[in-house]
Structure 1
Amino acid sequence: MEECPQHIRVVSSEARQLWPEFITNDPAKIGECEFYLISEMHSQLIVHHPYRTVLELTKPLELTTEDVSQATTLISDHYQTDLPLLYPPHVIAVMAILLAVIFGGGGGGAAHRNPYGHGAIVANPPSISTSLREAGLGVALSALGGTNAPGTTGATRPDPRVSRIVTWLAESEVDIKAVVECTQEMISLYEVMDGVNIQQCKEIISRMIKTRNADK
């Protein structure tokens, strides 16, 4: 913070114009904010994040390299939501692991575990976001409950890897309701992302920048 004095003055000036009743004419306060944060954290500067929990659970849950990769992708995507502000890191990590095993590859190669069949192998796997969006919350809930997903027969055997995680989850003190809520939020995120045209967004932003420069 203190290495950017000019930027701090600009931020202070802009903030004072927007919130004159809250912002004082003292840019130094912004430069000192990191010390306020350290004080609030009681100098406990170790940051706990979901990535760390995934790595710690890799061995106990016998996760594959692909499981970890898929879980990491989900964790990276969850930062586009309010989940980091609402739930602790370990809940996010458990949600990511569960969804990675249910909807991800996990077996290596081109094979993919069909989310509707709990272990059926299909070729050319879709992305985990696509699988999660298409299957919906029902498949994840059926896995948590140890039942078959909608559209499957009673003879279909649950994936033992999923069963192992569900058993571990049942024996742990992790808030399952919170895991389900996080799952629903991720489904909603991917539904929104599915309707976003990245190229169109880039073109709109480019036109806005060109228009702003033209006005000058």
Structure 2
Amino acid sequence: MEECPQHIRFVVGEARGLWPEFIAPDVSKLGECEFSLISEMSSQLIIHHPYRTLSELQPELSLTSDEVALAWSVINDHYLTDLPLLYPPHVIAVMAIIVAVVFKPSQTSFHGSAAPLASAMRDGGMSILAALGDKNGNGPPPRIQRLIAWLAESEVDIKAVIECTQELVSLYEVWEQYSEKHCKELLGRMVKSKNLD
């Protein structure tokens, strides 16, 4: 658990420095938004982080440093969704481990762009499905077999892990298709059509 209180004036000042065209100097607007959000969440503001679970599972699952780094990045990415509000941290940590081990990009760097990770997740998922359906008895690699055995023995909610994985795959697919130039053009057209300029 982590608490990082910041004075509202500091937050508004930093935001105005980054997005001067969007942020008004009125501190009370941010305060109103904060109280509205707290009210909407019924004052349930505690969010537990999955990093600790990831660190605890690293030796148990014999994760490499690359897999831990990738899982850590997946955990960072999950904060851009509503997953931290919907699922417990251990489910998210297990999902990040599965993504790191099963859908690991083939020794290419994924930092800075979600596109390679999204396509690697698709390719990795297809190869695992092919290995599971292999009639020659080869099956998935031993590393993934150990992870599957661990998941079967654990009491982790597999359905929740699958839902988290689907949500993250959706996020990566959106990132893969995102074009800032296209979004600005669409927003410009919308503003002109509504005579808001």
TM-score, length-normalised on structure 1?
Answer: 0.59
Task: Provide structure 1 residue ranges, at least 5 long, that are not aligned to the other structure.
Answer: 16-21, 24-32, 106-111, 113-122, 208-214
* Secondary structure in structure 1 of the residue aligned to 2:140: coil
1:185 alignment counterpart: 167
Normalized per residue, the structure richer in helix is 2
CA change 1:154–1:99 in 2 (3 A) is: farther
Deviating beyond 2 angstroms after TM superposition, the runs of 4 or more aligned structure 1 residues are 1-12, 123-130, 133-136, 147-150, 152-157, 201-205
1:151-170 CA-partner distances (Å, limit 9, x unpaired): x5534332111111111111
1:79 alignment counterpart: 79
* Secondary structure in structure 1 of the residue aligned to 2:131: coil
1:13-38 CA-partner distances (Å, limit 9, x unpaired): x66xxxxxx98xxxxxxxxx9xxx7x
1:57-85 CA-partner distances (Å, limit 9, x unpaired): 10000000000011111111111211111
* Secondary structure in structure 2 of the residue aligned to 1:189: helix
Matches within 5 A, 1:150-169: 154-169=136-151
Q: Separation in 1 of the partners of 2:122 and 2:163? A: 15
Q: Give the greater-gyration-radius structure (CA).
A: 1
Q: Which has the higher contact order (CA 8 A, sep 6+)?
A: 2
| Number of equivalent positions | 164
Preserved CA contact (<8 Å) 2:104 2:124: no
Preserved CA contact (<8 Å) 1:71 1:99: yes
Q: Separation in 1 of the partners of 2:94 and 2:73? A: 13
Q: Which of 130, 143, 157 is the equivalent residue of 2:119?
A: 130
Q: Separation in 1 of the partners of 2:98 and 2:7? A: 42
What amino acid maps onto 2:50 in structure 1? P
Task: Provide structure 2 residue ranges, at least 5 long, that are not aligned to the other structure.
Answer: 1-5, 11-24, 111-115, 189-195
Q: CA RMSD in A?
A: 3.9
What amino acid maps onto 1:128 in structure 2? L
CA change 1:156–1:58 in 2 (3 A) is: same
Q: Separation in 1 of the partners of 2:73 and 2:26? A: 33
1:211 alignment counterpart: none
1:60 alignment counterpart: 60
What amino acid maps onto 2:139 in structure 1? R
Q: Separation in 1 of the partners of 2:152 and 2:132? A: 19
What amino acid maps onto 2:131 in structure 1? N
| 1:124 CA displacement | 5.2
2:19 alignment counterpart: none
Q: Separation in 1 of the partners of 2:124 and 2:167? A: 14
Identity %: 42
What amino acid maps onto 2:103 in structure 1? F
Q: Separation in 2 of the partners of 1:193 and 1:129? A: 9
CA change 1:54–1:67 in 2 (3 A) is: same
* Secondary structure in structure 2 of the residue aligned to 1:58: helix
1:28 alignment counterpart: none
Preserved CA contact (<8 Å) 1:133 1:190: no
Q: Separation in 2 of the partners of 1:66 and 1:89? A: 21
Matches within 5 A, 1:1-150: 4=9, 8-12=27-31, 48-104=48-104, 112=106, 127-134=116-123, 142=129, 148-149=131-132
What amino acid maps onto 1:131 in structure 2? A
TM-score, length-normalised on structure 2?
Answer: 0.64
